[in-house]
């Protein structure tokens, strides 16, 4: 895809006055929404947000609810995983604060997404599924710390790709897009920390960023989590050819999205079959 062709098709000034007004009112709503979010959980959503959001077409609202329920499913998985790990005592004492911090963020994401789906979009948040983090008896994350960290890396890197893959599907709403971006970068921080922690502990040689499509010492089943991360070409530009920077370095510099189907395939390994 040629970027300049893309840019040629962009006509920001052709929006009619009415849609522009809607655009701005949603944006203003987000500013209040954002300020509000800093203070407390979304126990009461400002009226301005409720008034602004329904101006999105119903079909778009359905899409937003669908995407956020998908995100909520992944956040449920992450939160439950860390909580069970902490409960089981598998996390070494020195690293409990790190895992607790990540757990806290995932729980906050669960609560935030639940509130937005229910009270902003008037949808029905998905209930927490029943998980099987042994993946049918293949893993023992709650009795083996290296396995616990390895799966944590897999979940965080998957989460980053999952949010990225949905950006275009939520861009109609500035509120939802900005919230999703603000979760996405937190997941990336988690991923970087877990990856580097594993390497510092001698369990792997991965860096904070993803080199090619390398799974490091993760089990072969993790290949799908990193498939496509070796990409060097963006908007039709092969950046390695352009810059002379080696493929490893260029692949690290861009994270790649993953489709909902691929992510659910990965997450499905950890769902109880009774779901």
Looking at residues 119 to 138 of the shown chain, list those that interact with another protein (rule: CB under 8 A): none
Whole-angstrom distance, CA of residue 210 vs CA of residue 223: 13
Distance, first Cα to last Cα, the chain: 41
Contacts of the segment 28-37: beta carbons below 8 A, 24+ positions apart = 28/52, 29/53, 29/175, 30/174, 30/175, 30/178, 33/175, 34/178, 37/112
> Residue 20, interface with another protein (CB under 8 A)?
no
Looking at residues 38 to 67 of the shown chain, list those that interact with another protein (rule: CB under 8 A): 38-42
> Residue 80, interface with another protein (CB under 8 A)?
no
| Interacting span for another protein (CB under 8 A) from 33-41, 45-53, 123-131, 133-141 | 33-41
Handedness of CA 162, 163, 167, 169 (dihedral sign): positive
> Residue 105, interface with another protein (CB under 8 A)?
yes
What length does the chain have? Answer: 275
Q: Which is nearer to another protein, 139 or 152 (CB)?
A: 152
Choosing from 60, 128, 132, 252, the residue that interacts with another protein (CB under 8 A) is 252
Q: Which is nearer to another protein, 42 or 139 (CB)?
A: 42
Looking at residues 159 to 218 of the shown chain, list those that interact with another protein (rule: CB under 8 A): 160, 163-164, 167-168, 171, 174, 177-179, 181-193, 196-197, 207-209
Whole-angstrom distance, CA of residue 180 vs CA of residue 245: 31
Contact 169, 67 (CB under 8 A): yes
Q: How far is the CB of 117 from another protein (least distance, A)?
A: 14
> Residue 95, interface with another protein (CB under 8 A)?
yes
């Amino acid at each position: 895809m040629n970027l300049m062709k893309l840019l040629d098709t962009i006509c920001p000034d052709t929006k009619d006055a009415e849609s522009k007004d809607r655009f701005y009112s949603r944006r203003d709503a987000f500013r209040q929404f954002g300020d509000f979010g800093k203070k407390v959980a979304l126990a009461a959503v400002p009226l301005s947000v409720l008034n602004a959001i329904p101006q999105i077409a119903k079909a778009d609202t359905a899409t937003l609810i669908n995407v956020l329920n998908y995100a909520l499913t992944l956040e449920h998985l992450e939160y439950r995983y860390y909580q069970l790990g902490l409960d089981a005592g598998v996390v070494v004492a020195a690293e409990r604060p790190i895992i607790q911090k990540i757990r806290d963020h995932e729980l906050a994401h669960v609560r935030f997404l639940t509130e937005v789906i229910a009270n902003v979009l008037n949808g029905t948040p998905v209930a927490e599924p029943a998980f099987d983090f042994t993946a049918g008896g293949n893993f023992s994350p709650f009795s083996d710390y290296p396995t616990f960290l390895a799966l944590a890396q897999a979940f965080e890197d998957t989460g980053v790709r999952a949010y990225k893959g949905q950006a275009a599907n939520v861009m109609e709403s500035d509120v939802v897009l900005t919230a999703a971006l603000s979760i996405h970068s937190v997941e990336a921080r988690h991923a970087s920390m877990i990856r580097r922690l594993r390497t510092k502990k001698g369990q792997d040689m991965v860096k904070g960023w993803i080199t090619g499509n390398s799974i490091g010492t993760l089990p072969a089943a993790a290949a799908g989590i990193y498939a496509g991360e070796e990409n060097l070409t963006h908007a039709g530009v092969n950046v390695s050819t352009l810059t002379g920077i080696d493929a490893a370095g260029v692949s690290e510099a861009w994270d790649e999205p993953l489709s909902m189907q691929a992510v659910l395939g990965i997450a499905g390994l950890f769902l109880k079959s009774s779901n």
